[in-house]
Structure 1
């Protein structure tokens, strides 16, 4: 079915008519509308922060219908009704993935279909229509090629891709919004943690939680307080027993003991990370025993190594954990051997430096 018309009170400032706007670009051949020069950026000092690029991708749909044709538009601010579902009832979600440039000029995506599947799973729980896996992957392809000049050179970073799905239609009572917007924007990025592939220092939060009572709004507060004290980030515990590991603010966590790598099992409050899933497969292929289960703080403090995984960080080795005032350090020579080994294996695969035996890489050109 065709997507619903865009209501006058909820529209994109740069394109109020999706069929006739001079700022719209049909997605059939985005490459023909884009120049190929490299962006004027100091790639060697690229951090992890938002940087406006040339184009964003927009696709709209009315409640009860299916997403259809989307378009590339010039990047710009969006305009929403104060009564939009995303603003009033939080009816929205986001994804995150990256594009990498190879030395031969090819552009690679890492498992975009997994992001599409996770988006659809989340949308179903929030009573939102969502793009098909094929629509999602094609939209990501279009937005990456349209912003090709913003992709860092090999080894200098990546193009971070942020798909959003939100209830953009106006609604007053608690109900699904009458209209939905699927939007993708991109930004060139360097390392998420300023340390790069160097040990980070975490503090275990014992009062606030990422999910359930004491969570959500408290997460930003806990993270800000931790960084003010010199920590890189916060590691959260479960909200019931307060002794089992959950996640770092934006990363999954892994604990290494001998040849065994343990990570908290997915049980509703832990993000089913795609990097997490990939690291588990890579580790098992290298002969490690990987366990997905409840992991206690005591095991954390007694570990040989600890590391975090996520789209933004890929892998971040943990140099120390501080728990109720006690600091435990891991290793004395920087990055742990297991962290280094898994980081190298995954990033070389993502950047096209090794053979893709997992069939995880999508080449765009």
Structure 2
């Protein structure tokens, strides 16, 4: 029997029977999700835990008609001390505010964002993979206009929910091998001065068709150049672009990533930069990256970074010319030693295997769940 606050009694629950070491990255039903509503003149309610993975949505909801929708992706880990903590959720809360502002939505304040994450993780604690399995609990906050509006106006009601899914290690055993990326001729991810900097649902479906077409001819993902001049690197279809130079005379590399108004401010990228500089002693450059640098072999390693895989090494970039011919550019000699070193540090920090992990302030709540 459901409790009054929307939870269902723990003693009635059947514990999940999951092969933790063989988890993939796909939807798995859990006990509940958490849902909050904002209504004009009332503000945010106190939220509730909901057992059913379905909801009633008004047929005129702005999230359906006008794309008022934003989402985030982050992970919670059962760490070395046995406690469960989220990795840098404050940065995701900040980014959701930026995304909401871009399309005139009311974002939950950070206090509600964090509270919602804690509530849903606590209620689904049985689904957090054990320490040492390489798995984590993927946390997906979603904000959308749920109030009806037929004219092009903001909604008078917004729904904020958080769902969780246990997921496995994207690359078994860490980073290895590489994928192929393709730059399509006359295809842009975002418009100049548009919403490419925001994590909006509407930014993603336009690439689905082109990605499927690219896969058919042997490429795994798309790489986009800047929409204004098509001369500088922006980002991949769902990940930031990152690159490394070879070791210099002092045994250091340079970590390079594009500076652009059209790309998403990745929490993973930000973390990798900080680890590269503070733990590995590498140089870090956030600047405009001419595609010509990639073509002439400036970088020994190129990668796509994001929440799911952290780092996906890219070994080949195909450039489609106007006549349809694809020119393939090989990256370095195929080595991913730089990415392996960075991934190792990142992964150890995520699960509390680094001695000074508490000093970084990346994990919340500090006391654990």
Pair 1:296 & 2:275 matched? no
Match of 2:306 in 1: 310
TM-score (norm 1): 0.85
Following TM superposition, by how much is the alpha carbon of 1:68 offset from its aligned partner in structure 2, in angstroms?
3.3
> Are the equivalent residues in 1 in contact too, given 2:80–2:351 (CA < 8 A)?
no
Q: Which moved more, 1:166-175 or 1:149-158?
A: 149-158
Instruction: Report the CA distance shift for 1:241/1:23 in structure 2 as closer, same or farther (over 3 A).
Output: farther
8 A contact 1:34–1:147 mirrored in 2? no
1:145 to 2:132 alignment = no
Q: How many residues align?
A: 340
Question: Which runs of 5 or more structure 2 residues have no equivalent in the other structure?
Answer: 195-202, 247-252, 321-325
Give runs of aligned pairs for residues 1-365 of structure 1, distance below 5 A.
23=2, 26=5, 33=10, 39-154=16-131, 155-192=133-170, 197-198=175-176, 199-212=178-191, 217-258=205-246, 259-267=253-261, 269-285=262-278, 286-301=280-295, 302=297, 303-324=299-320, 325-332=326-333, 334=335, 336-354=336-354, 355-356=356-357, 357-363=359-365, 364-365=368-369
Question: CA 1:152 to 1:189, structure 2 compared with 1: closer, same or farther past 3 Å?
Answer: same
Secondary structure of the residue aligned to 2:99 is helix
**Quick check: 1:55–1:185 contact (8 Å CA) kept in 2?**
yes
| CA-CA distance at 1:196 after TM superposition | 6.4
Distance 1:101 1:75, change over 3 A: farther
Task: Provide the C-alpha distance between the structure 2 equivalents of 1:90 and 1:143, rounded to a whole number of angstroms.
Answer: 26
Partner SS for 1:342: helix
Look up the SS of the partner of 2:43 in the other structure.
coil
> How far 1:234 moved relative to its partner?
1.2
Question: How many angstroms apart in 2 are the aligned matches of 1:25 and 1:203?
Answer: 52
- Mapped to 2, the partners of 1:67 and 1:111 lie a distance apart of 23
Unaligned runs of 5+ residues in structure 1 are: 1-21
TM-score by length of 2: 0.84
Tell me the residue number matched to 2:323.
Answer: none
Q: Distance in 1 between matches of 2:148 and 2:162?
A: 21
Q: Could you say if the C-alpha distance between residues 331 and 266 of structure 1 is closer, same or farther in structure 2, counting changes exceeding 3 Å?
A: closer
Q: For the Cα contact (< 8 Å) 1:64–1:129, is it kept in 2?
A: no
- Output the CA distance in 2 between the equivalents of 1:322 and 1:158: 33
Residue-by-residue CA offset, 1:77-122 (whole Å, 9 max, x unaligned): 1111110010011111111101111244311210111111111222
1:190 deviation in Å?
2.2
Partners of 1:160 and 1:186 within 8 A in 2? yes
1:152 alignment partner, SS class: coil
Deviations 1:119-177 (A, max 9, x none): 12222232222222111111101111211111222333211111011110111111111
State the SS of the aligned residue for 1:323: strand
Q: Structure 1 residues 97 and 295, CA, compared in 2 at 3 Å: closer, same or farther? A: same
**8 Å Cα contact 1:23/1:73 also seen in 2:** no
Contact 2:33 2:164 in 1 (8 A): yes
* RMSD after superposition: 2.6
Comparing 248-257 and 58-67, the one that deviates more: 58-67
Deviates more, 1:198-207 or 1:89-98: 198-207
After superposition, what is the alpha-carbon deviation per residue over 1:178-209, rounded to whole angstroms, capped at 9, x for unaligned? 11111111111124579962222222223212
CA distance in 1, matches of 2:4, 2:270: 36
Pair 1:93–1:342, CA change in 2 (3 A): same
The answer to whether the 8 A contact 2:175-2:339 is kept is no
Query: By how many angstroms is 1:63 displaced?
Result: 2.5
Q: SS at 1:221's partner residue?
A: helix
Q: Closer, same or farther in 2 for the Cα pair 1:145/1:123, shift >3 Å?
A: same
